[in-house]
Amino acid sequence: MNLFTFRGGVHPPENKLQTENLATEVFSASKMLYVPMLQHIGAPLEPTVKIGEKVLKGQKIGDSEAFVSSPVHSPVSGTVKKIEVMPFPLSGKVTTVVIENDEQEEWAELTKLENWEAASNEEILAMIREKGIVGIGGACFPTHIKLNPPKDVKIDTLLLNGAECEPYLNSDNRLMLEEPHKIIEGIKIIMKVLGVEKAHIGIEDNKPEAIASMKKACEGTKIEVAMLKTQYPQGGEKQLIKAVLDRDVPSGGLPSAVGVVVQNTGTAAAIYEGLLEGTPIIEKIVTVSGLAVGKPMNLKVRIGTMFNEILDYANTNRDQIEKLVMGGPMMGMAQPIEQVPVVKGTSGLLALTKDETNPYKPKSCIVCGKCIKACPMNLLPNMYAKLARFKRWEEMGEFHLMDCIECGSCSYICPANRPLTEAIKIGKAKLRTLKK
């Protein structure tokens, strides 16, 4: 059978087996929850509650008037104990609302939009914002903005990312198996907003049960499942568009330039829950894995749960941890400490041992060209690394550096262990500063 795919990429050890057949377990809410005021791409939020105030589960506790922003909500009922600047997993520190759980699980009054078919796009988008829905595949861009492209941009296709191409992770996989109807209903809402007739869900062929589950759920709809070759980074927006639709997003362009909007399957389910059940994003499915984890699992946890509590619950051997990562091993964020909370973009928590990490011992480039062949964006990673060494940032930009999606394929494949992605990230940061 012909499988959809793109040019380039790599195939690292999948390491999905440890958790792929484990049903999602619910982690009881902790005594203290730490909710950061920045869980999306955009402006930080201001707390809308005060210390000592009683809050209800699902109540909005942070918001902003900035255009690119998305509110956050209390994951439990309880009392606001502290509001202070604390470390969070997206690097650095941010204002955090600390809530003591009263264990009453008392919900705030939940507004719904059950009759969404009769609602206007403005009403639907306003509700998506109100429920704090962002791209929960990792990027966390506010969904109400992504679903509202400029009027002169014609969108004809919706593409759902169910690839979950990062090794170890199974949170999207479990969602597609356990709650496919939520994804499908969410997709229908997105299709109405975008005014498109056609949607595709891209899923890698290493998830045959999820493919079967979604195919069944798609019956009688205008939504189709596209089986993708298991190849990293198949879930990259531009790679997914090339694989499923054979369209090339131009350099520097967005998917909308070729008439496409891409959403994660988890985001579609969040839209269903937000509009039809009235619940904002207050919990997340997190795959907990890695060889230092005694009991790997897929866990539904409240936003604001500290990583150390999850690692304790999963019987993690701290002495074996070489690297703690939020997300997957390719694009995830290394965590220097365990005392940081789950945020909307937390899809995995990996406690990796020395055997699972690639100790950093770079050697000289042997000009083998493997990094160029692996680059899914047709870029020149080895040249970027050389230019970065001599701080020639502008030249890096001239060679389309900003098209790099930071997938890490070049570093992964390099036989000389060159820190290519690291040099690229530094170059991109420098270029952004130069452009200001």
Annotated binding site for [4Fe-4S] cluster: 365, 368, 371, 375, 404, 407, 410, 414
Cβ distance to ligand SF4 smaller for residue 86 or 365: 365
Q: Of these, 414, 423, 427, 428, which contacts ligand SF4 (CB under 6 A)?
A: 414
Asked if residue 258 binds ligand SF4 (CB under 6 A), the reply is no
Q: What is residue 341's DSSP assignment?
A: B
What's the closest the beta carbon of residue 232 comes to ligand SF4, in angstroms?
A: 10
Q: Of these, 191, 409, 423, 427, which contacts ligand SF4 (CB under 6 A)?
A: 409
Contact of 265 with 172, CB cutoff 8 Å: yes
C-alpha angle 81/83/87, rounded to 5°? 115
Asked if residue 388 binds ligand SF4 (CB under 6 A), the reply is no
Asked if residue 3 binds ligand SF4 (CB under 6 A), the reply is no
Q: Of these, 21, 406, 429, 432, which contacts ligand SF4 (CB under 6 A)?
A: 406
Cβ distance to ligand SF4 smaller for residue 44 or 419: 419
Asked if residue 294 binds ligand SF4 (CB under 6 A), the reply is no
Asked if residue 396 binds ligand SF4 (CB under 6 A), the reply is no
Q: Of these, 182, 188, 242, 370, which contacts ligand SF4 (CB under 6 A)?
A: 370
Asked if residue 182 binds ligand SF4 (CB under 6 A), the reply is no
Q: Of these, 382, 393, 427, 428, which contacts ligand SF4 (CB under 6 A)?
A: 382
At 126, which amino acid appears?
A: A
At 139, which amino acid appears?
A: A
Asked if residue 369 binds ligand SF4 (CB under 6 A), the reply is yes
Asked if residue 418 binds ligand SF4 (CB under 6 A), the reply is yes
Peptide bond between residue 233 and the one before it cis (omega within 30 degrees of 0): yes
Q: Of these, 61, 244, 293, 375, which contacts ligand SF4 (CB under 6 A)?
A: 375
Cβ distance to ligand SF4 smaller for residue 184 or 410: 410
Residue 251: count other Cβ atoms within 10 Å of its Cβ.
11
- The dihedral of CA 328, 331, 334, 335: what is its sign? negative
Stretch that binds ligand SF4, among 35-43, 84-92, 254-262, 404-412 (CB under 6 A): 404-412
Strands 323-326 and 260-264, bridge-based pairing: unpaired
Asked if residue 231 binds ligand SF4 (CB under 6 A), the reply is no
Residue with tokens 């499988």: 3
Asked if residue 251 binds ligand SF4 (CB under 6 A), the reply is no
Residue 171 CB partners (closer than 8 Å, separation 6+): 164, 266, 284, 285, 286, 287, 298, 347, 348
How many residues bind ligand SF4 (CB under 6 A)? The answer is: 28
**Three-state SS for 95?**
strand
Stretch that binds ligand SF4, among 55-63, 264-272, 304-312, 405-413 (CB under 6 A): 405-413
Number of H helices, E strands in the chain: 14, 17
CA–CA dist 261, 256 (Å, integer): 6
What's the closest the beta carbon of residue 385 comes to ligand SF4, in angstroms?
A: 6
- Token couple for 402: 């900003």
Cβ distance to ligand SF4 smaller for residue 68 or 366: 366
Asked if residue 424 binds ligand SF4 (CB under 6 A), the reply is yes
Q: Of these, 166, 244, 421, 428, which contacts ligand SF4 (CB under 6 A)?
A: 421
Asked if residue 1 binds ligand SF4 (CB under 6 A), the reply is no
339-370 in b/e form (b: 16+ CB < 10 A) is: ebbbbbbbbbbbbbbeebbeeeeeeeeeeeeb
Contact of 413 with 374, CB cutoff 8 Å: yes
- The dihedral of CA 176, 213, 290, 295: what is its sign? positive
Q: Footprint of ligand SF4 on this chain (CB under 6 A)?
A: 365-371, 374-377, 379, 381-382, 404-410, 414-416, 418, 420-421, 424
